Amino acid sequence: MATLKVAVKPAAAPMKVAQISKPGADFEIVDREIPEPGAREVRIKVQACGVCHSDVLTKEGIWPGIQYPRIPGHEVAGVVDELGAGVSEWNKGQRVGVGWHGGHDGTCRECRRGDFRNCRNVKVCGINYDGGYQQYMLAPAEALAAIPETLRDVDAAPLLCAGITTYNALRHSGALPGDLVAVQGIGGLGHLGIQFANKFGYKVAAIGRGSENAPLAKKLGASLYIDSQSTNAAEALQKLGGAQVILATAPSSKAMSALIDGLGPNGKLMVIGATFDPIEVTPIQLITGSRTIQGWAAGTPADSEDTLRFAELTGVRPMIETYPLEKAGDAYARMMSGKAQFRVVLTM
Ligand SMILES: [Zn+2]
Ligand SMILES: [Zn+2]
């Protein structure tokens, strides 16, 4: 009688994750089984994940319909570890990232027009499914962006949200090389915005509160620094002919409103600093000089690849503080304190 061979499935190996068990709860470090990718999914061995202010949506349950426990994180850099059925465009061992845009359906009206960024059923990494605060994660194949060879994981991670947001907003702002572009706020977004604006060939005016950030702003590529506490920044911009674009990164609607008069003819206030307070503007301010106010959110995985390649090419890099995954709570608190210089990144 032949020996009966019984296939024994090995016990699934555990991994460490930093999860939120309910809205408002603290981070807890727990073991979970390493997940298996389903059809059209990829498993990523996470190497680094940025801690973004938008993670507050998951931490505090502000985004509607989040299912808990949930693992935040939408600035994910790692390596393709396993492919689900039907995935032929990625290879095991390939370095990839996932940003805010965590997948699209490909079938809604916007997707059929090629406008994946505005997909009606867009999935957000770390909100609609578990994000990068863990050792292994699953992502839809269409959410991945390739990471260029010479870019470190800890540098690529923040570029997948803070980076793409500033890069994409600027390159779609209409500003041309040589134009005066102001970057309001020298923080997580602003310090990248200044660098990209400089590499795009703009004349960059950095606007910050107080004089202490002036040397850093110049080092990052600003040709001038405007201290909005000691000077009227809008008037200062008008003395220079008016800004073609003001990239508003600091989440202060009051500060943004105060800058609108600094726009030149056909100037645009490009809003990326997220807040719930209203921006104040009069119709006269907009009609005079045909000014516009526009908002911008991140971009597609293809936009992420553009961002990463441009950063590799030009030397744009985030300034980071790293924490191990086990210290996710401390890392998040540091980010929320507003004192980080400038992006907090978890390493696995
Ligand atoms: Zn983000
Ligand atoms: Zn869609």
Residues 225 and 244 sit within 8 Å (Cβ to Cβ): no
Q: How far is CA 241 from each of CA 181, 189, 237, rounded to the nearest angstrom?
A: 11, 25, 7
Ligand nearest to the CA of 105: 2
* pLDDT for the residue numbered 205: 98
- Rounded Cα gap, residues 47 and 348, in angstroms: 5
Distance 245 CA to ligand 1 centre (A): 22
Distance 235 CA to ligand 2 centre (A): 43
Determine phi and psi for 97, rounding to 5 degrees: -135, 160
Q: How far is CA 68 from each of CA 19, 55, 133, 134, 264, rounded to the nearest angstrom?
A: 9, 14, 14, 15, 47
* pLDDT for the residue numbered 231: 96
Sorting pLDDT into bands at 50, 70 and 90, what band is 347?
Answer: very high
Given a cut of 90, whether residue 1 has pLDDT beyond it is no
* pLDDT for the residue numbered 11: 56
- Rounded Cα gap, residues 221 and 194, in angstroms: 6
Given a cut of 80, whether residue 149 has pLDDT beyond it is yes
Given a cut of 60, whether residue 9 has pLDDT beyond it is no
Distance 339 CA to ligand 2 centre (A): 37
Ligand nearest to the CA of 50: 1
Residues 191 and 198 sit within 8 Å (Cβ to Cβ): no
Distance 241 CA to ligand 1 centre (A): 33
Q: Which two structure tokens, joined as six digits, stand for 332?
A: 């998040």
Label the pairing between strands 95-98 and 136-140. unpaired
Residue of 184, 221, 229 whose CA lies nearest to 204 = 221
Determine phi and psi for 305, rounding to 5 degrees: -60, -40
Residue of 331, 273, 311 whose CA lies nearest to 48 = 331
Contacts of 121 (CB under 8 A, 6+ apart): 104, 105, 108
Residue of 57, 64, 67, 71 whose CA lies nearest to 27 = 71
- Rounded Cα gap, residues 153 and 192, in angstroms: 17
Distance 8 CA to ligand 1 centre (A): 42
Mean pLDDT (the chain) is 95
Given a cut of 70, whether residue 5 has pLDDT beyond it is no
Given a cut of 80, whether residue 4 has pLDDT beyond it is no
Q: What is the mean pLDDT of residues 176-184?
A: 98
Q: What is the mean pLDDT of residues 83-112?
A: 97
- Give residue 13's identity as a one-letter amino acid code: A
Task: Using CA atoms of 201, 207, 213, 217 in order, give the dihedral in degrees to the nearest 10.
Answer: 0
Q: What is the mean pLDDT of residues 54-77?
A: 96
* pLDDT for the residue numbered 13: 72
Q: Which residues of 216-241 are buried (b: 16+ CB within 10 A; e: fewer)?
A: bbeebbbebbbbbeeeebbebbeeee
Q: What is the mean pLDDT of residues 97-124?
A: 96
Q: What is the mean pLDDT of residues 323-348?
A: 97
In this structure, the number of other CB atoms found within 10 A of the CB of residue 322 comes to 14
Distance 213 CA to ligand 1 centre (A): 23
Sorting pLDDT into bands at 50, 70 and 90, what band is 7?
Answer: low
Distance 298 CA to ligand 1 centre (A): 8
Ligand nearest to the CA of 116: 2
Sorting pLDDT into bands at 50, 70 and 90, what band is 198?
Answer: very high
Q: How far apart are the first and last CA of the chain?
A: 50
Distance 101 CA to ligand 2 centre (A): 12
Q: What is the mean pLDDT of residues 49-63?
A: 96
Q: What is the mean pLDDT of residues 282-304?
A: 96
Given a cut of 80, whether residue 39 has pLDDT beyond it is yes
Residue of 106, 144, 140, 104 whose CA lies nearest to 123 = 104
